[in-house]
């Protein structure tokens, strides 16, 4: 057994989001993804119905978590998603308040997305207060604020925040997202040291169509960063 004086390095969890095809789910699982995201937001080019999400979620082996992404959804829409995929983690990616998240989640664990402005405006975003406001969320997912809700392929300025702050450590379950690719995810992990990373467009050949080689390269880059 390893010595207690030499703890094992942190293992960054990996979520691959916006999957629409069986082949993409299988590629993500084989590559070593920890979670698979299904978008239940009709305007998205990556949208699936609850029934389709259930079909794809049935391909997941034990310990790979299905995540249902909602944007300003009604309680009925969230309930329909949970009826189709009862073991799913919820992700609220719209303008939901803390009270609305609690109502929609109905006691189920959820992740809250924070839409961080691009450019210098990121420095005016109070991430600490945001995390306090959504203290009941299992994680705060950091995405870039773009037109629409996510999937825009843009990264916010990672240097805008003091990641050494005790409340912005891996223990707070930060999930780094927004514009991640196999080429930049290692740098993001080394700077932020998030609990997890979330990728969608960065491993696609077209919107909603994942590329197995890009998935493999992304996972390999994450593991390389963990080893440093």
Sorted by sequence, the CB contacts under 8 Å of residue 86 that are 6+ apart come out as none
Number of domains, the chain: 1
In a domain, 101, yes or no: yes
In a domain, 1, yes or no: no
Main-chain phi, psi angles of 2, to 5 degrees: -65, 150
Active site residue 101: no
In a domain, 39, yes or no: yes
Residue that has been written with the tokens 């082996």 in this structure: 61
In a domain, 7, yes or no: no
pLDDT tens for the chain, residues 1 to 228: 455 555 667 899 999 999 999 999 999 999 999 999 999 999 999 999 999 999 999 999 999 999 999 999 999 999 999 999 999 999 999 999 999 999 999 999 999 999 998 889 889 999 999 999 999 999 999 998 877 666 567 899 999 998 888 877 766 789 999 999 999 999 999 999 999 999 999 999 998 899 999 999 999 999 999 998
In a domain, 158, yes or no: yes
Active site residue 143: yes
In a domain, 3, yes or no: no
Q: Cα–Cα distance between 181 and 113 in angstroms, integer?
A: 19
Range of the domain at 176: 15-114+124-226
CATH code of 163's domain: 3.20.20.70
In a domain, 76, yes or no: yes
From 17, 24, 101, 198, active-site residue: 17
From 34, 95, 101, 143, active-site residue: 143
Q: Cα–Cα distance between 76 and 92 in angstroms, integer?
A: 15
In a domain, 9, yes or no: no
Main-chain phi, psi angles of 150, to 5 degrees: 80, 170
């Amino acid at each position: 057994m390893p010595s207690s004086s030499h703890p094992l390095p942190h293992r960054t969890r990996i979520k691959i989001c916006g999957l629409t095809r069986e082949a993409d789910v299988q590629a993500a699982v084989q590559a070593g993804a920890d979670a698979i995201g299904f978008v239940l937001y009709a305007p998205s080019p990556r949208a699936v119905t609850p029934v389709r999400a259930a079909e794809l979620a049935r391909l997941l082996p034990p310990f790979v978590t299905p995540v249902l992404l909602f944007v300003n959804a009604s309680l009925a829409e969230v309930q329909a998603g949970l009826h189709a995929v009862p073991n799913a983690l919820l992700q609220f990616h719209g303008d939901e308040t803390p009270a609305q998240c609690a109502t929609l989640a109905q006691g189920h664990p959820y992740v809250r997305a924070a839409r961080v402005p691009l450019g210098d405006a990121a420095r005016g975003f109070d991430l600490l207060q945001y995390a306090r406001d959504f203290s009941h969320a299992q994680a705060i997912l950091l995405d870039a604020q773009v037109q629409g809700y996510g999937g825009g392929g843009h990264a916010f300025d990672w240097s805008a925040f003091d990641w050494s702050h005790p409340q912005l450590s891996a223990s707070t379950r930060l999930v780094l997202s927004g514009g991640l690719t196999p080429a930049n995810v290692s740098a993001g992990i080394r700077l932020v040291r998030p609990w997890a990373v979330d990728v969608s467009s960065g491993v696609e050949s077209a919107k909603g169509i994942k590329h197995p080689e890009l998935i493999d390269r992304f996972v390999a880059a994450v593991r390389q960063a963990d080893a440093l």
